[in-house]
Chain A
Protein backbone atom coordinates (compact mmCIF):
# COMPACT_ATOMS: atom_id res chain seq x y z
CA UNK A 1 0.00 0.00 0.00
CA UNK A 2 1.07 3.59 -0.61
CA UNK A 3 2.90 5.13 2.33
CA UNK A 4 4.40 8.58 2.74
CA UNK A 5 6.34 9.28 5.93
CA UNK A 6 7.64 12.76 6.71
CA UNK A 7 10.51 13.46 9.09
CA UNK A 8 12.87 16.24 10.08
CA UNK A 9 10.52 18.63 11.81
CA UNK A 10 11.32 20.30 15.09
CA UNK A 11 11.88 23.61 16.85
CA UNK A 12 14.19 26.05 15.11
CA UNK A 13 15.10 29.69 15.70
CA UNK A 14 14.09 32.40 13.23
CA UNK A 15 16.62 32.79 10.43
CA UNK A 16 17.89 29.23 10.75
CA UNK A 17 17.48 26.28 8.37
CA UNK A 18 15.80 22.91 8.46
CA UNK A 19 15.50 20.06 5.96
CA UNK A 20 12.42 17.88 5.78
CA UNK A 21 12.29 14.41 4.24
CA UNK A 22 9.43 12.34 2.92
CA UNK A 23 10.06 8.63 2.46
CA UNK A 24 7.78 6.94 -0.08
CA UNK A 25 6.86 3.29 -0.48
CA UNK A 26 4.21 1.12 -2.11
CA UNK A 27 4.35 2.78 -5.52
CA UNK A 28 6.85 3.69 -8.26
CA UNK A 29 8.10 6.96 -6.77
CA UNK A 30 9.92 8.06 -9.92
CA UNK A 31 6.65 8.02 -11.91
CA UNK A 32 4.93 10.73 -9.88
CA UNK A 33 5.38 14.41 -9.25
CA UNK A 34 5.33 15.23 -5.55
CA UNK A 35 4.12 18.16 -3.47
CA UNK A 36 4.62 19.81 -0.10
CA UNK A 37 1.56 21.34 1.58
CA UNK A 38 1.54 23.00 5.00
CA UNK A 39 -0.99 23.88 7.65
CA UNK A 40 -0.35 26.45 10.36
CA UNK A 41 -1.85 25.59 13.77
CA UNK A 42 -5.61 26.03 13.66
CA UNK A 43 -5.50 27.33 10.09
CA UNK A 44 -6.26 26.08 6.59
CA UNK A 45 -4.14 24.28 4.03
CA UNK A 46 -1.47 26.11 2.04
CA UNK A 47 0.19 24.63 -1.03
CA UNK A 48 3.98 25.07 -0.84
CA UNK A 49 5.76 23.43 -3.77
CA UNK A 50 5.81 20.75 -6.47
CA UNK A 51 8.60 18.85 -8.18
CA UNK A 52 8.21 16.88 -11.38
CA UNK A 53 8.99 13.17 -11.42
CA UNK A 54 12.52 13.66 -12.75
CA UNK A 55 13.09 16.77 -10.70
CA UNK A 56 13.63 19.13 -13.60
CA UNK A 57 10.54 21.27 -13.02
CA UNK A 58 9.74 22.97 -9.73
CA UNK A 59 7.20 25.54 -8.61
CA UNK A 60 6.81 27.39 -5.32
CA UNK A 61 4.28 29.47 -3.45
CA UNK A 62 5.24 33.15 -3.36
CA UNK A 63 5.46 32.94 0.44
CA UNK A 64 8.45 30.55 0.26
CA UNK A 65 10.04 31.39 -3.09
CA UNK A 66 13.76 32.06 -2.73
CA UNK A 67 13.90 30.53 0.76
CA UNK A 68 12.69 26.93 0.26
CA UNK A 69 14.05 24.36 -2.19
CA UNK A 70 12.28 21.16 -3.15
CA UNK A 71 14.31 18.19 -4.37
CA UNK A 72 14.07 14.44 -4.72
CA UNK A 73 16.27 11.36 -4.87
CA UNK A 74 14.49 8.72 -6.92
CA UNK A 75 17.12 6.12 -6.04
CA UNK A 76 16.14 6.54 -2.39
CA UNK A 77 12.39 7.08 -2.96
CA UNK A 78 12.70 10.28 -0.96
CA UNK A 79 11.38 13.82 -1.33
CA UNK A 80 13.03 16.76 0.43
CA UNK A 81 12.26 20.32 1.42
CA UNK A 82 15.22 22.51 2.34
CA UNK A 83 13.91 25.48 4.33
CA UNK A 84 16.23 28.45 4.83
CA UNK A 85 15.75 31.83 6.49
CA UNK A 86 12.85 30.45 8.49
CA UNK A 87 10.27 32.85 9.88
CA UNK A 88 7.72 32.46 12.68
CA UNK A 89 4.97 32.40 10.03
CA UNK A 90 6.52 29.20 8.61
CA UNK A 91 5.36 27.38 11.74
CA UNK A 92 3.10 24.59 10.49
CA UNK A 93 2.58 20.91 9.95
CA UNK A 94 4.24 20.05 6.66
CA UNK A 95 2.71 17.29 4.55
CA UNK A 96 4.11 15.61 1.48
CA UNK A 97 1.54 14.44 -1.05
CA UNK A 98 1.53 12.47 -4.27
CA UNK A 99 0.45 14.14 -7.51
CA UNK A 100 -2.41 12.11 -8.93
CA UNK A 101 -6.03 13.25 -9.26
CA UNK A 102 -4.64 16.39 -7.56
CA UNK A 103 -3.23 14.92 -4.31
CA UNK A 104 -4.47 11.38 -3.73
CA UNK A 105 -2.10 10.25 -0.97
CA UNK A 106 -0.70 12.29 1.92
CA UNK A 107 1.77 11.62 4.69
CA UNK A 108 0.90 12.12 8.35
CA UNK A 109 2.82 15.39 8.51
CA UNK A 110 5.78 16.74 10.47
CA UNK A 111 5.56 19.79 12.71
CA UNK A 112 7.97 22.69 12.22
CA UNK A 113 8.00 25.35 14.93
CA UNK A 114 9.96 28.55 14.30
CA UNK A 115 10.49 30.32 17.59
CA UNK A 116 13.22 31.96 19.59
Chain B
Protein backbone atom coordinates (compact mmCIF):
# COMPACT_ATOMS: atom_id res chain seq x y z
CA UNK B 1 0.00 0.00 0.00
CA UNK B 2 1.12 3.57 -0.70
CA UNK B 3 1.68 5.85 2.30
CA UNK B 4 1.25 9.60 1.94
CA UNK B 5 3.08 11.97 4.27
CA UNK B 6 2.30 15.67 4.47
CA UNK B 7 4.39 18.41 6.02
CA UNK B 8 3.99 20.44 8.02
CA UNK B 9 1.09 19.17 10.12
CA UNK B 10 0.26 22.71 11.17
CA UNK B 11 1.16 25.96 9.46
CA UNK B 12 0.65 29.46 10.86
CA UNK B 13 0.49 32.25 8.32
CA UNK B 14 -0.98 35.68 7.68
CA UNK B 15 -3.32 37.04 5.03
CA UNK B 16 -1.27 37.82 1.94
CA UNK B 17 1.46 35.26 2.67
CA UNK B 18 2.65 32.72 0.14
CA UNK B 19 2.50 29.22 1.62
CA UNK B 20 3.61 25.79 0.48
CA UNK B 21 2.51 22.37 1.70
CA UNK B 22 4.48 19.26 0.81
CA UNK B 23 3.23 15.73 0.21
CA UNK B 24 5.47 12.69 -0.21
CA UNK B 25 4.44 9.26 -1.49
CA UNK B 26 6.13 6.07 -0.30
CA UNK B 27 6.51 4.99 -3.95
CA UNK B 28 6.04 6.62 -7.32
CA UNK B 29 2.48 7.64 -8.14
CA UNK B 30 3.34 9.42 -11.41
CA UNK B 31 1.04 12.48 -11.36
CA UNK B 32 -1.99 10.79 -9.81
CA UNK B 33 -2.27 13.19 -6.92
CA UNK B 34 -5.10 15.42 -5.77
CA UNK B 35 -5.34 18.20 -3.18
CA UNK B 36 -8.43 18.97 -1.11
CA UNK B 37 -9.48 21.75 1.22
CA UNK B 38 -11.74 20.92 4.15
CA UNK B 39 -13.44 23.28 6.58
CA UNK B 40 -14.92 22.14 9.93
CA UNK B 41 -18.18 20.23 9.53
CA UNK B 42 -17.97 20.25 5.73
CA UNK B 43 -17.06 17.75 3.05
CA UNK B 44 -13.67 18.06 1.36
CA UNK B 45 -13.48 20.30 -1.70
CA UNK B 46 -11.29 19.30 -4.65
CA UNK B 47 -8.70 21.95 -5.51
CA UNK B 48 -6.10 20.25 -7.72
CA UNK B 49 -6.09 16.97 -9.64
CA UNK B 50 -3.39 15.18 -11.61
CA UNK B 51 -0.82 17.01 -9.50
CA UNK B 52 -1.12 20.38 -11.23
CA UNK B 53 -4.56 20.74 -12.87
CA UNK B 54 -6.81 23.32 -11.27
CA UNK B 55 -10.36 22.12 -10.66
CA UNK B 56 -13.05 24.27 -12.25
CA UNK B 57 -14.11 27.17 -10.05
CA UNK B 58 -11.02 27.07 -7.82
CA UNK B 59 -9.17 30.42 -7.53
CA UNK B 60 -5.94 30.69 -9.48
CA UNK B 61 -3.95 31.51 -6.32
CA UNK B 62 -3.93 27.73 -5.73
CA UNK B 63 -1.36 25.73 -7.70
CA UNK B 64 0.15 22.27 -7.54
CA UNK B 65 3.37 20.77 -8.78
CA UNK B 66 5.45 17.62 -8.65
CA UNK B 67 5.53 14.09 -9.94
CA UNK B 68 6.77 10.71 -8.82
CA UNK B 69 7.00 10.93 -5.04
CA UNK B 70 7.27 14.65 -4.24
CA UNK B 71 4.42 17.13 -4.57
CA UNK B 72 3.59 20.63 -3.41
CA UNK B 73 0.48 22.75 -3.02
CA UNK B 74 1.12 26.49 -3.12
CA UNK B 75 -1.24 29.30 -2.22
CA UNK B 76 0.24 32.45 -3.71
CA UNK B 77 -1.49 35.04 -1.51
CA UNK B 78 -3.50 33.77 1.43
CA UNK B 79 -7.06 35.00 1.74
CA UNK B 80 -9.20 34.81 4.90
CA UNK B 81 -11.28 32.01 3.34
CA UNK B 82 -8.18 29.82 2.88
CA UNK B 83 -7.69 29.00 6.55
CA UNK B 84 -8.68 25.34 6.63
CA UNK B 85 -7.20 21.84 6.59
CA UNK B 86 -5.59 20.55 3.39
CA UNK B 87 -5.20 16.91 2.34
CA UNK B 88 -3.29 15.25 -0.45
CA UNK B 89 -4.59 12.01 -1.95
CA UNK B 90 -2.99 9.47 -4.23
CA UNK B 91 -5.17 7.73 -6.80
CA UNK B 92 -2.47 5.80 -8.61
CA UNK B 93 -3.43 2.43 -7.16
CA UNK B 94 -5.86 0.82 -4.74
CA UNK B 95 -6.23 1.28 -1.88
CA UNK B 96 -6.31 5.02 -2.49
CA UNK B 97 -4.82 6.95 0.42
CA UNK B 98 -4.71 10.41 1.95
CA UNK B 99 -2.05 12.35 3.74
CA UNK B 100 -2.69 13.07 7.41
CA UNK B 101 -3.64 16.68 6.70
CA UNK B 102 -2.12 20.14 7.15
CA UNK B 103 -4.01 22.63 9.27
CA UNK B 104 -3.48 26.18 8.04
CA UNK B 105 -3.98 28.62 10.90
CA UNK B 106 -4.07 32.37 11.16
CA UNK B 107 -0.88 33.79 12.69
Q: Which residues of A contact B (CB under 8 A)?
A: 35, 44-47, 50, 59-62, 95, 101-104, 106-109
CB-defined contacts of A46 to chain B, threshold 8 Å:
98
Q: Tally of A-B residue pairs with Cβ under 8 A?
A: 56
Q: In the complex, A104→B45 CA distance in Å?
A: 8
Can you name the residue of chain B whose Cβ is closest to the Cβ of A45? B98
Cβ of B82 under 8 Å from chain A: no
Residue with the greatest number of chain A CB neighbours at <10 A, chosen from B49, B95, B97, B100: B95
Task: Tell me how many residues of B have a C-beta within 8 Å of chain A.
Answer: 25
Q: Which residues of B contact A (CB under 8 A)?
A: 1, 32, 34, 36, 38, 42-46, 49-50, 53, 55, 87, 89, 91, 94-101
CB-defined contacts of B100 to chain A, threshold 8 Å:
44
6 extra interface residue pairs, beta carbon distance < 8 Å, beyond A45-B101, A47-B95, A103-B44: A44-B87, A102-B46, A102-B89, A102-B96, A104-B49, A108-B42
> Which of A44, A50, A104, A107 interacts with B94 by CB under 8 Å?
A50
